[in-house]
Amino acid sequence: MILDSKIPEGPLAEKWKNHIARGKLVNPSNKRKYEIIIVGSGLAGASAAATLGELGYSVKCFSFHDSPRRAHSIAAQGGINAAKNYQNDGDSVYRLFYDTIKGGDYRSREANVHRLAEVSMNIIDQCVAQGVPFAREYGGTLSNRSFGGAQVSRTFYARGQTGQQLLLGAYSALSRQIGLGTVEMFCNQEMLELVVVNGEAKGIITRNVNTGQIQRHSAHAVVLGTGGYGNVFNLSTYARNSNATAAWRAYRKGAAFANPCYTQIHPTCIPVSGDYQSKLTLMSESLRNDGRIWAPKKLGDKRPPNEIPEKERDYYLERKYPSFGNLAPRDISSRAAKEACDEGRGVGETGLGVYLDFSDAIERLGEETIRERYGNLFAIYKEITNESAYETPMRIYPAVHYTMGGLWVDYDLMSNLPGLFVMGEANFSDHGANRLGASALMQGLADGYFVLPNTIPHYLADVPREAAPSIDGPEFAVAELEVRDRTNKLLDNNGTKSVKSFHKRLGEIMWNYCGMARTKEGLEKALELIPQLREEFRKDVRVPGEGKELNQSLEQAGRVADFLELGELMCRDALAREESCGGHFRVEHQYPDGEAMRDDESFAHVAAWEFKGEDKVPERHVEPLEYEETKFTTRSYK
Amino acid sequence: MNVKLRVWRQKNSETEGSFENYEARDLNPNMSFLEMLDVVNEDLTNDGSEPIAFAHDCREGICGTCSCMIDGKPHGPETGVATCQTYMRSFKDGDTITVEPFKANAFPIVKDLVTDRKAFDKIQRSGGFVSVRTGAAPDANAIPIGKDIADLAMDAAACIGCGACVAACKNSSAMLFVSAKAGQLNLLPQGQPEKDTRVLNMVATMDEAGFGNCTNQYECSAACPKLISEEFISKLNRDYMSASVKKLFKAKAL
């Protein structure tokens, strides 16, 4: 397998500009002759579909939801970064680039990250022009706040629902193109297989989740914007239906899967309350602008928080990381919370929680200001816990939130399978081993609005201007048969255990052995347990109902079957990466003070895995990461 | 706690539906309503029966997928929340709870508690946007927008497109949904050039899709999980009136 990142020559700040200026183009009158399939309608999918449709390509966009607006980008709360320097606080493209490289613990590509920082400004302009109601100052200019891992205020936001507003902006642009007929929208269609013709991605097989109908679709290129795979952990901040099936099917058809072990555990989520729990809810990182995180100094201190005097509280982030304090990056904050709880200083019924306290901010700024900034978040907290965070500190605990790993792509966002492009959280490229807050929305929209529309012609220009491969071809027939076989096998299995019970057990294995802290022994154990569980699933899963109508158990069964394979790959990757970096913390590799110890000599590379066949050991390939502009330094937020 | 459920079961859009009774036992009051349905479904699956189909996804009140009519109220007894944010502590031990889908002519039932709300997408396509090419935008701070206007636009933009407004309305009107999207864009300077065509087209599409008329009783606003104000309906009426008169007299933009 060849992993050529195709990073353009020239100085870092000129690469993207030159790459567009010199790249191949498709003539405006020829664009409509090219069909492009886009799977997913979140920030990346919707923005790409709208932009490519507007450019004149024939676009088909697929979503398993009933409407493109339901994609889980909608749930992002805090904000989106852009190097606008509207605050005159010393921000620049370079600083956003540098913060993102450092935040990713020197495991991302310099050229990709610089491009991301460059186009960040266009995104804000675009969204404002669409009517996205970002927060504003009284004078009418845009407002900013700060986020973890940065010492400037560069985050734009729309109350606590920035993702919703950005997605609805992209959805409105997509809706306009659907109305104009440049984009054909396929809702309730789940992609269950990728079709490869002569070594290139040329189509997909879908199942209509409402009717069970299996359909073939062909195109000149296939683009995945299908999100991350955090639901492998079962309990996460992801939507219940978020899944890895599209990406996993592409992997099994030859696309490399990069850095699967890089998962982000978000520090501020509402703790688990019971066995029945179906999901974890995030409390936006923006709360750390005004909230102070602490745990009692005393072990097992069960007093209510208001009765614990100031001198018996440990504001551990402020103590350990005085220059960033409560705004330390996510991986660091999460591990610090875990440490406090592991020491026996956790709070709440389960002891798995720490406090996020607003009493100082309320005293300083008044309750009204806090309500204006975070009112909806406090309301969510109240709904779930029945407690008011205006009166008592929030209880928070880390939870799985994002996956930095994903399908391997080159600088043009094309995977090693020609014709297959991957955007947003589904690819691996821009966040390294840890994503900074407010960077996911930035990347999704950067890829969809500005990167892919400029890079996809580099591939299409060399594709003959003839019709896309016929869906009657043998490759489509075989792929459809595979889907039918898998579906029927699940339905006819007649086992005794529900899909959900398997998902839960897989999640427990992943959280215990491939979660916030990983050890060699633990990962080896997981690599024994997961194949056993997978075998049990194949023999004993029960999927009620039929295939010819809406069958939510069947949908989940297909997704969990794929998670049972992906989970194993994640553990394999975590085991092979003998270092700690970003969200990947190997207990064996740490400094005496507990900070993560990277090994730049042996591991400054992307690990991309190649599928070698059913239940066979995949092959690990390496793309070295070369740092021209920045120097490796031990990440310090002290 | 234990509750009894009366749940609407319907195989598909072609068949007739009916209520079935279930019992949900040993519930934790801090469980969400959907987690309670998960438990019931797990029992049904283990008994060899078919679980209840219900729409859900984000489970944090923002995606707009969940859509249960609970005891005759869209999203249940609490104010300003979606079904997924309704908790069992809102019910009493021993209660009988009736669960139905959001019913409306424009929202055909797919199965059990799942309805098809694609009519909302059609309305959005007819005018719920600002026509701006990707890359053609001026600097974001080039258009100052007063905080009061930006805040009002945000109030309207908070709509999650769930359809509770339609389900709550005796006429199945979609006026609150339409007025929220049109209101957001018509308030902002970016939305001015297409203000008139937007309201005319969106209202026409709403009528075509089979939604009923508004009689200003505002059950919609009371049922809205984001508590979007009925004042946006008044604004839509004003904008529509002005656009219609201009259209009728073919008025120039002088």
pLDDT given at position A349:
87
Closest CA relative to residue A337, chosen from A285, A302, A382, A409:
A285
Identify all chain A residues contacting B111, using CB atoms and an 8 Å cutoff. Answer: 210, 549-550
Three state DSSP letters for A229-261: CHHHHCCCCCCCCCCCHHHHHHHHCCCCEECCC
Contact B81 A130 (CB under 8 A): no
Structure tokens at A143: 């407002």
For the structural domain made of A494-624, what CATH number should be given?
A: 1.20.58.100
Q: Strands A420-422 and A221-224: what pairing?
A: parallel
Identify all chain A residues contacting B150, using CB atoms and an 8 Å cutoff. Answer: 133-136
pLDDT at B140 over 90: yes
The span from the CA of A105 to the CA of A583, in Å, is 9
Which of the residues A330, A335, A373, A518 is marked catalytic?
A330
Virtual CA dihedral for A85, A89, A94, A98, nearest 10 degrees?
A: -120
pLDDT at B20 over 90: yes
Other C-beta atoms closer than 10 Å to the C-beta of A462 total 9
Instruction: Check if B241 contacts A (Cβ < 8 Å).
Output: no
Of A122-136, A228-242, A283-297, the range with the lowest mean pLDDT is A283-297
Beta-carbon contacts of B25 under 8 Å, excluding residues fewer than 6 positions away, are B2
pLDDT at A593 over 90: no
pLDDT given at position A466:
95
Domain residue ranges in chain A: 266-399, 494-624
Contact B57 A187 (CB under 8 A): no
Query: CB of A97 within 8 A of CB of A152?
Result: no
Which residues, in sequence order, are bridge partners of residue A185?
A61
The span from the CA of A485 to the CA of A457, in Å, is 36
| Rounded mean pLDDT, A474-485 | 98
CA distance A398 to chain B (A): 17
The span from the CA of A112 to the CA of A7, in Å, is 8
Share of chain A above pLDDT 90, in %: 92
Half-sphere exposure of A506 (CA within 13 A, CB side): 33
pLDDT at B210 over 90: yes
pLDDT given at position A139:
96
Contact A544 B45 (CB under 8 A): yes
Residue ranges of B 22-81 with Cβ closer than 8 A to chain A = 28, 30-32, 34-35, 38-39, 42, 44-46, 48-51, 53, 55-65, 80-81
Identify all chain A residues contacting B61, using CB atoms and an 8 Å cutoff. Answer: 380, 383
Identify all chain A residues contacting B141, using CB atoms and an 8 Å cutoff. Answer: 84, 86, 141-142
pLDDT given at position A2:
87
Identify all chain B residues contacting A54, using CB atoms and an 8 Å cutoff. Answer: 133-134
Identify all chain A residues contacting B109, using CB atoms and an 8 Å cutoff. Answer: none
Of B39, B114, B145, the CB nearest to A550: B114
pLDDT tens, position by position, A507-548: 999 999 999 999 999 999 999 999 999 999 999 999 999 999
pLDDT given at position A275:
86
Considering only residues A445 and A332, tell me which one the structure prediction assigns the higher pLDDT: A445
pLDDT given at position A350:
87
Tell me which chain A residue has its CA closest to the CA of residue B79: A383
The span from the CA of A36 to the CA of A224, in Å, is 11
Write down the mean pLDDT value for chain A.
96
pLDDT at B246 over 90: yes
pLDDT tens, position by position, B187-199: 999 999 999 999 9
pLDDT given at position A148:
82
3-state DSSP call for residue A38?
A: strand
Residue A633 — pLDDT band, cuts 50, 70, 90?
confident
pLDDT given at position B60:
93
CA distance B45 to chain A (A): 7
pLDDT given at position A380:
87
pLDDT given at position B148:
96
Virtual CA dihedral for A307, A312, A316, A319, nearest 10 degrees?
A: 130
Tell me which chain A residue has its CA closest to the CA of residue B148: A138
Other C-beta atoms closer than 10 Å to the C-beta of B156 total 25
pLDDT tens, position by position, A78-105: 899 999 999 999 999 999 999 999 999 9
Contact A138 B45 (CB under 8 A): no
Q: Which of A88, A125, A143 to mutate to test the interface with B (most CBs of B within 10 A)?
A: A125
Residue A116 — pLDDT band, cuts 50, 70, 90?
very high
Which residues, in sequence order, are bridge partners of residue A421?
A223, A414
* A-B C-beta contacts closer than 8 Å: 216
| Rounded mean pLDDT, B77-81 | 96
Contact B130 A69 (CB under 8 A): no
- Dihedral sign for Cα B26, B32, B33, B39, please: negative
Residue A372 — pLDDT band, cuts 50, 70, 90?
confident
Three state DSSP letters for A277-316: CCCCCECCHHHHHCCEEEEECCCCCCCCHHHCCHHHEECH
pLDDT at B253 over 90: no
Share of chain B above pLDDT 70, in %: 100
Instruction: Check if B113 contacts A (Cβ < 8 Å).
Output: no
pLDDT given at position A325:
93
A303 a catalytic residue: no
Contact B39 A276 (CB under 8 A): yes
Of A128, A159, A279, the CB nearest to B137: A128
pLDDT at B181 over 90: yes
Q: A266-399 has which fold?
A: Flavocytochrome C3; Chain A, domain 1 (3.90.700)
| B16 burial via Cβ count (<10 Å: 0-12, 13-18, 19+) | exposed
CA distance A98 to chain B (A): 24
Share of chain A above pLDDT 70, in %: 100
Identify all chain B residues contacting A548, using CB atoms and an 8 Å cutoff. Answer: none
Contact A450 B134 (CB under 8 A): yes
CA distance A72 to chain B (A): 7
Contact A278 B34 (CB under 8 A): yes
Contact B11 A549 (CB under 8 A): yes
Cite the DSSP H helix spans in A329-431.
330-342, 359-365, 367-385
Identify all chain B residues contacting A500, using CB atoms and an 8 Å cutoff. Answer: 38, 42, 45
pLDDT given at position A186:
98
Of B42, B136, B190, the CB nearest to A131: B190
The span from the CA of B151 to the CA of B106, in Å, is 31
Residue B78 — pLDDT band, cuts 50, 70, 90?
very high
pLDDT tens, position by position, A141-176: 999 998 888 899 999 999 889 999 999 999 999 999
Contact A66 B117 (CB under 8 A): yes
Residue A11 — pLDDT band, cuts 50, 70, 90?
very high
Instruction: Check if B83 contacts A (Cβ < 8 Å).
Output: no
Structure tokens at B39: 């438990």
- Dihedral sign for Cα A120, A121, A125, A128, please: positive
Residue A638 — pLDDT band, cuts 50, 70, 90?
confident
The span from the CA of A307 to the CA of A309, in Å, is 6
pLDDT tens, position by position, A452-462: 999 999 999 99
CA distance A124 to chain B (A): 6
pLDDT given at position A285:
85
The span from the CA of A104 to the CA of A165, in Å, is 26
- Examine the predicted complex and report whether its ipTM is higher than 0.85: yes
Domains in chain B with CATH codes: 3-111 (3.10.20.30), 117-248 (1.10.1060.10)
Contact B61 A380 (CB under 8 A): yes
Buried-state track A372-403, b at ≥16 Cβ within 10 A, e below 16? ebbebbbbbbebbbeeebeebbbbbbbbbbbb
Beta-carbon contacts of B67 under 8 Å, excluding residues fewer than 6 positions away, are B55, B74, B75, B83, B101, B102, B113, B115, B117, B162, B163, B164, B167
Phi/psi of residue B236, nearest 5 degrees: -60, -40
Q: Strands A80-81 and A313-314: what pairing?
A: unpaired
Contact B42 A500 (CB under 8 A): yes
pLDDT given at position A636:
78
pLDDT tens, position by position, B91-139: 999 999 999 999 999 999 999 999 999 999 999 999 999 999 999 999 9
Placement of tokens 């709550």 in the chain: B168
The verdict on pTM exceeding 0.90 is yes
Query: CB of B80 within 8 A of CB of B86?
Result: no
Contact B191 A72 (CB under 8 A): no
Query: CB of A200 within 8 A of CB of A37?
Result: no
Three state DSSP letters for A504-544: HHHHHHHHHHHCCCECHHHHHHHHHHHHHHHHHHHHHEECC
pLDDT given at position A418:
98
| Rounded mean pLDDT, B143-170 | 97
Contact B57 A70 (CB under 8 A): yes
Of A131, A164, A171, the CB nearest to B130: A131
3-state DSSP call for residue A179?
A: helix
pLDDT given at position B23:
96
pLDDT given at position A78:
85
DSSP label at residue A165? H
pLDDT given at position A319:
95
